[in-house]
Amino acid sequence: MTTLSTLTRAQKAAAILVAMGKPSASRLLKFFKQEELKALIEAARLLRTIPQSDLEQIVEEFEAEFTEGAGLLDSADDMNAILNESLSPEEMNAIMGRGKGKGGDPMLPVWPELENIDPSRIGSFLVAEHPQIGAVVMSKLPPSTSSKVLLTLDKTVRAEVIKRMMAMGTVPEAATRIVENQLRNRVLSEKTARDISAGQNRVASMLNEMDKSQVEEVMQDLESQGASDLGGIRARLFSFEDVPQLTQRARVALFDGLSTELVTLCLRGASPDMVEAILSSIGARTRRMIESELGQEFAGVPMADIIAARRTVASTAIRMSLEGAFELPAAQNAA
């Protein structure tokens, strides 16, 4: 039998957790630091039967409420049961310094891997989680990555996540590890690695070959049939007609890498607003050259060549957006 005088502070804490029962103790364990959890496990292994009177004194010391009066038996087993039901094997390994993945290999860091994941995939994970989880994830990612993820979230969710980021203090290491393991299992696992982004890219590439009216008709059909993840497809849609909707910085980046001949060709027969949107994004000397070319007759230029040039501009914009150079208008509107 364990006596009150021989109990350490860690053993007293373990005794209270066991007395609270699994549901309540499980919720509290997520807020302990790694070293604290490890100390609790080691302390619980040394516990034996605790008399009711001693247990009540322990509770008073911690200034907590305690209503059930049974003494404690087999505290180490009870503590292990609580931990095993609260934490995954990977989390237990991390807490006890046994950070190994499948096959005994060390688990790869989560955050660098997430930088290579489609932001909409991370956003889909966060939507199903508490905003506090979103705040933890956003605080761990580089600003360049977290900003893209935030833009995939609904405005209400995004605002809640940002508010919690502003008010968040230091995140306990144990809580961080739990979040990391959830990301590892649900975002980075081999099963989810075959994510929907590849399929979305294929569908978007196909739709980008259509006229805008045809694209909208197809998207409406998909929506009426309950197709999911349409936001990810819309974020990848872009046509030459969308160029004026790009920011000035994005247009400058886009046309800086395109040849004068291509820009001139895609502007043949374009509206005055389109011509100005593009010419205002290039240098003065190049602009004068293109304006001179546009002032000449183009009756002999095949329309198919003009359409091909415009699709080249659109596909270049899509590629640059996927590389993180800028956001497409559809992605901004979806956010």
| Residues in Cβ contact with 91 at an 8 Å cutoff, skipping those fewer than 6 apart | 174, 177, 178, 181
pTM, to two decimals = 0.42
DSSP for 26-63, written as a single string: HHHHTTS-HHHHHHHHHHHHT---B-HHHHHHHHHHTT
DSSP 324: T
Ranges of residues in the chain whose predicted pLDDT is under 50: 1, 63-75, 97-98, 102-106, 190-194, 335
pLDDT of residue 74: 44
pLDDT of residue 105: 45
pLDDT of residue 282: 93
Q: Please give the Cα distance from 163 to 57 (Å, whole number).
A: 41
Helix axes 119-127, 143-151, angle to 10 degrees: 60
pLDDT of residue 80: 59
Q: Please give the Cα distance from 128 to 130 (Å, whole number).
A: 7
pLDDT of residue 205: 76
- CB-based contact 15:58 (threshold 8 Å): yes
Q: Which of 62, 64, 39, 67 is nearest to 52 (CA)?
A: 67
Q: 3-class DSSP state for residue 124?
A: helix
